[in-house]
Structure 1
Amino acid sequence: MGFKKVDNNDLKTKMSPNFLGMPIREGGKLVEKTYRKNEIESSYTGLFSEILILNEEFLDFHYSTDGRRNSSEGNGNISIFNNSIKDRLWDAKLQFSGSQFNDQNIENNIELGIFEPNSNKVLKYDIVSPEELPDLVKVYENIENLTEDLNFSTNSLSDSNLNENRVRNHLLLLERENKIKFSISIVNVSNSILEKIKFKKYFPNNFYDTEVESEKIKDFKITKTFIECPLPNLKPGETLEIIILSKVFPKKKEKITTGKLNLTFNLPNKVLSGVKINKFSAYSHAMHAIKKVEKNYAPNHWQCSLIFENHSDFKIKLKSILIYDKSKSKKILDLDLGATGDTIILPRGKYVSSYFDFIDEKEPT
């Protein structure tokens, strides 16, 4: 009877992507129990991928001829971007809440499915009760008749020139061409920059030869019934002046109105409707397995540790680890990682838990 010499390499097996080694027996009796602390291993120096979530709201305010806001509309876009060039996300969920979603609450999730690398998805919603939104702009409109035969100035009108609705009346020459000047001031009274502003001024069919005088406005569209053009961004407290010239030829005594005014704009990095993004979750490329060593002096007794590897380019935050026995009635390992601070696993990084013991005839998996 003889013995064959076996070195340590003969006892070990190669690791596969989904399995970290066969059980390794300890040589000899365990004299002193060994310990392992929870630790993170990482040497990644590349670029990180991110999930970017942007919520933009677009508001459409309607103003009467006296500058009062008489109606409002609004909608929003929630855009989710996966900027990784290689990592797919699947089973993505977005949890959000707010008064704008009558059928949503904090417990509900929106299923977003799969995000391919370098892709995005957009969720659209309408703003409920936009009339309750605060005034973000003030609009002032001054009207002047430039007809030479009319020795008249709107600034000299008294209260007797106001109708029962407190709207100022202006005199027009009957059966004569009247040249009208509209001086419109748009003031940003909010504390945010207004972007993507679109201006639209309506006119009845009585008006013709309409034109715009403004150094800051170049790309405008003029039709028989309205003028439409984009406006430059407005900083908080900034005012933009628009001069519109038009003509009207009253053929009979009748009331001629000047038409309403619409403003559409966007507030970057600000949400007025109360929509709140609560949580985004998804799966990406990661691996976890149990590394185990069967104790030679105690058959079916296993010394184990959990290994979690981040195979993606995303930073992954471990919040908790919970391992049950086969019956799922007994907790073998229960770690609340959030209670001890953030446990961040960088791309290509690895988390190894502390040792825990397990007794079973079959090796732990």
Structure 2
Amino acid sequence: MSEVDDLIKDLKNDDKKVKQRAAERLGEIGETVEALRALQEASDDRDRGTKNKAKAAVLKVQERIDRKSSGGAWGSSSFSDDDSDERQLEITSATERKTESEDALRMMLVETQKGTINLDGSIYEPQEGDDSEERPTIDATGQFSIKNTGETDRIWDIDVSINEPGLTNLEKEYHVNELAPQEEWIQEYDIKDIQESLTIGFSEVIDTFPDTEESSNVLVYGQSMQTNLIYIMRGEKELLDINFSKELPVHFSDVSIQRVSLGDAAIEEGSLVWKIPKLGKGEEAELKVTCLITVEDIEIKRTGKAQISFYSDQEGAFSSLDVYGSDGLVRNYSYIEADEIEDRPDHWNCKLVFNNRSEFPVELRDVKISRGDEVYIMHEFRSGDVFVESNTTWESEVWTTVDEDLPRFEKNVYFTVKPEILYKASSEITVVDTEMRVANVKASKSYGIEEVDSYRETQIPTTIEVQNIGSLAFSTLTIKDHLPRKFLPADSDNISVKVGDEEITDYEVSYEPNDIEDADKEHEMIVKINREISPEEITSLKYSPTLKAEPDSEFTGVAEITAELAEPGPNLVREVEDWLTGATINVVHARKAITFGKTVNPGAEAGIYEIQIIYKNRGNKVLNDVKIRDIVPEGFSLLDDNMSDLADDESVPEGNKRTWTFDSVEIDQEIEINYRMQGESDEFEAGKAQTSIL
């Protein structure tokens, strides 16, 4: 095993000092793709020392790989095509402001971004229980480095000015005393408010109702739904090598690519893959895909997460940083050559000579030659106007001066080593998958009685129950109940609505037609409930319309439910054939016939009386809610009662009114009630017990 292999292994050691030494050493000797990848992984290490040393080493190893693969030209990628799918946050080629020499004062801004966004491109807000690996928090970091890339000369007195450092914790200006050959100065920084500096605009629209005006990702139980998937990318800066990959859930079938405006798209091993080599600033790219979703249950469906990776070689890709001013000094020699004119004594022809003795090209900025108030030469060169290559000279124009002695001047020459400025930014964004909820409803309608007597006005206790059995809430619920002829709708005081166990009042009632006193017309009673109905919640509507029907009639109740969904999507409408258990009422021609009798007999002891009440149903229908009443006269007290568990007492002026209640009395059934009472004084009137009430 080689030293590099040992160092790569040490990067995963539990001892942070071992990891730091390994990262530092790999930065010194590493020149393989494997070493680079190991250092990139270590750049996310929890130990800050390891993280910083690994980041610094990444740049060194990357440079060696690039020089090796391109013969020394900085910036080309050393990865093969087979490697490209595996790398995630690889720092690739960058815009270079190159000098003619490879030796330079190299300044580099490297920025790396990770994070999670929503389908609409907004920043995802972390939720409790999130896996930070699956849904990383949006974050961006950077590294600003200054390196003397020369082989022999030092660079000193280096000053750098940074434009717009406000999104970072960098200073506006930095001063480095000197850098020896191959020495590097590094400043790590964090990028704040990254939400405001995303360089890619993204949106994913999953539309299960493509024929409607407003897009919706709602699913409806029992349907096979033709669905559009639309993806849009927009470059806030020029972006390169965009790779988009989306997991296709198993419930997405018949996936087909319909249109791609830029780049190439394909279905590969259960994923949708879209590659865009270059997306210009302000440019948009669109991909449209269709699929079929068959909804066979009410379980929430996931849309499948996606990954976006890209890089940018534009300055300040994430942070808006830009190096706009820099200078540094190297070995130089400037002097003035003064020659006395042959035929004009004391007249001198003079020129300034600047000799660049360093290995670096330098740029002249300002040149001023003066004596006292007299200025002979003044140049303020624009950036890039005058470069003096390594080991060459620059000469000014000639000026003439008069001096009896040797001329003396004040000389000011301002120059700087020519900087090389590189910008590199890479990003890996997770697009969080979202939920597709299923809308579904079931309902039942029941009448409190199954039969009514003919020609008799009867109130019909009616209950409609609607349950949200989907995974999507309703924002409003409308129940339209059909009332056949001979029904008179219930007035508003005779209507109650419950959501769950709560009786509510925020509902509206209307009728079509509105003349609800006309029993010869059919009517629709419409109840609109203006509140959210959660999944599994039951809504109960109770009311009692009045029915007066002819013999041998039959009435079947039907209804219609309209649920307005809490998320964008068309209303959920269910017809009776789909979901409702219809209730039926039969009209019978029946008349009641009863026998009611009462006897009073003295008991075995003085003052005690035995009372017997007989009640018999002699009619042809069952009697419901039968109440039998009797009076225990004043001056008497009740001793016992064979049906006391069915009795209630009420004090009245005549004495104690006792009422026995029976849920029903069958045809030909006879009820016999026996109770005893006792006089409470010497004077009582037992004859009053002969009185009976029905």
The TM-score, its normalising length taken from structure 2, stands at 0.30
Higher relative contact order (CA 8 A, sep 6+): 1
The TM-score, its normalising length taken from structure 1, stands at 0.50
